[in-house]
Structure 1
Amino acid sequence: MSDVPEATESTRARNRRVAGADPDKRRQILDGAHQVFTARGFDAASMNDIAAAAGVSKGTLYVYFQDKEHLFVALIEREREAQKRGAFEALNDDSDPVRALGNFGLCLVRMINGEFAVSAHRVVIGVAERMPDLGRGFYENGPMLGAGLISRYLDRMVAEGKLVIADTNLAAVQFIDLCQSTLTRPRLFNAVRTPPSEAEIRHVVGEAIAMFMARYGVRPRD
């Protein structure tokens, strides 16, 4: 028996990050994973399938990703980054809170109700109990990041006298939840199997803006 102690999980993860440092190879793997997950779903997909679709060996696949769950989350992050830029730019460039928050809300609801995003949320919630770090990372890089961005925008609008908000962190989360009302939860539970229509999204986001501004908008002086 070897006297060399078994590597800890943190050591293995660190070694994996160092070894799996080729961005082109990582992109190649994620492209193959996207193809497999889209065609077969998360449960039916295997690391063998993904390696074949990506054109890499299974050993190479495990250098970059320790398991299917972490690979799936990495793919989620890539897809989310590609989709959220427009929503974030709306907040950065527009000083009209009704228009800016409305554009952000539309982008957000379209994104999180898409087929891949809904599937991603289900998978992460399903593994979060046994893989809490994975669940926490998904939350911090998604919902928490978005709420922080809105909160900073609200801080700016308060400073400019366009909104009156005591707790912008709470208001940011309230806005996100309002935009998802009646749309996202039914999708997550598969009670509704198709994404909402553009008309449905615009109606819900419009009502969210109306409610938000009724609470936090600056009231005209008598």
Structure 2
Amino acid sequence: MKHEPQNVAVLNAPASGGRWAAGEDPVKRQQILEGAKRVFMKMGFDAASMNDVTREAGVSKGTLYVYFANKEDLFSAMMDSERAHFVANIRTVLADDADMATSLYDCGMVFVTHITSDKTMNAMRTIIGVRERMPSLCQGFFKGPENLRTVLRDFLQRQAALGRVEIEDFDMAARQFLEMAGGGYFKLRLFGDLETPPSKEEIDYVVRGALRVFVKAYGTEQKCPD
């Protein structure tokens, strides 16, 4: 049975129908996370303080601690939010009813543009800086229950069910496509060998090359997008 979508305002309303209980307002929580992101990306984890976040987010210290117990909790929540947003974008790109090769191309473009951006580079360097003290955060960010690789793997499994690809190891195939599409840009950016993100034309060239190899290896009748 098909269910009609509910009104977003109703879904996001307080259960009581009145004011949000302390620490439960999603708009206020997002306001804090956005402020924290600006602070952490600018100052790094160690230099940033909860006071810096209160000023940037425009909330009181009391409000901040209602939502997040400490700086580690806030940082972890911020990274989870960023990952979830990126994964949601990739899931949208990998639509079931779209042409497979076009979907993979769009996925590659979004992926490489994201991982080579200044914002992602700052985030990765911040995470690396706290790895010794917060190993579970780093492991969760890269592995997580759902990430780019798992979304791509699930997409490929659905495509195989439709007869569009023949793949024995879906996890490996997803990794192969991402490695080829990445073109080594991530490491070059992370370690400073490439000071600015590659151009859209450069990314397009590498992603199309990765797609040609991938479709040649696994596709049954797909053609690469023009």
Question: Judging changes above 3 Å, is the alpha-carbon distance between structure 1 residues 22 and 81 closer, same or farther for their aligned structure 2 residues?
Answer: same
Q: How does 1:36-75 map to 2 (within 5 A)?
A: 36-75=39-78
Answer whether contact 2:181 2:207 (CA < 8 A) is retained. yes
Structure 1: distance between partners of 2:124 and 2:193: 15
Counterpart of 2:143 in structure 1 is: 140
* Shift, 1:161, TM fit: 1.9
Alignment-mate amino acid for residue 124 of structure 1 = I
Structure 1: distance between partners of 2:214 and 2:72: 37
Q: How does 1:49-128 map to 2 (within 5 A)?
A: 49-128=52-131
Specify the SS of the correspondent of 1:116.
helix
Structure 2: distance between partners of 1:185 and 1:166: 29
Counterpart of 1:11 in structure 2 is: none
Question: Judging changes above 3 Å, is the alpha-carbon distance between structure 1 residues 65 and 193 closer, same or farther for their aligned structure 2 residues?
Answer: farther
Counterpart of 1:24 in structure 2 is: 27
Counterpart of 2:204 in structure 1 is: 202
* Shift, 1:41, TM fit: 4.7
Alignment-mate amino acid for residue 218 of structure 2 = Y
* Shift, 1:168, TM fit: 0.6
Counterpart of 1:191 in structure 2 is: 193
Structure 2: distance between partners of 1:117 and 1:133: 19
Structure 2: distance between partners of 1:95 and 1:164: 18
Answer whether contact 2:90 2:110 (CA < 8 A) is retained. yes
Specify the SS of the correspondent of 1:61.
helix
Q: Tell me the alpha carbon deviations over residues 82-127 of structure 1, each in whole angstroms, 9 at most, x when there is no partner.
A: 4443432221244422111111111111112111111112222232
Alignment-mate amino acid for residue 182 of structure 1 = G
Structure 1 stretch 31-40 or stretch 168-177: which is displaced more? 31-40
* Shift, 1:19, TM fit: 6.0
Identity percentage over the alignment? 43
Structure 2: distance between partners of 1:177 and 1:136: 19
Question: Judging changes above 3 Å, is the alpha-carbon distance between structure 1 residues 130 and 20 closer, same or farther for their aligned structure 2 residues?
Answer: same
Counterpart of 1:13 in structure 2 is: none
- The correspondence for 1:181, drawn from 180, 183, 195, is 183
Structure 2: distance between partners of 1:66 and 1:194: 36
Answer whether contact 1:95 1:157 (CA < 8 A) is retained. no
Structure 2: distance between partners of 1:147 and 1:160: 20
* Shift, 1:128, TM fit: 2.4
Question: What is the number of equivalent residue pairs in this alignment?
Answer: 202
Question: Judging changes above 3 Å, is the alpha-carbon distance between structure 1 residues 38 and 151 closer, same or farther for their aligned structure 2 residues?
Answer: closer
Question: Judging changes above 3 Å, is the alpha-carbon distance between structure 1 residues 70 and 118 closer, same or farther for their aligned structure 2 residues?
Answer: farther
What's the C-alpha RMSD, in Å, of the aligned pairs? 2.6
Structure 2: distance between partners of 1:98 and 1:40: 41
Q: Tell me the alpha carbon deviations over residues 113-162 of structure 1, each in whole angstroms, 9 at most, x when there is no partner.
A: 111111112222232232122112212348x5221111111112222222
Structure 1 stretch 160-169 or stretch 28-37: which is displaced more? 28-37
Alignment-mate amino acid for residue 139 of structure 1 = F
Answer whether contact 2:164 2:221 (CA < 8 A) is retained. no
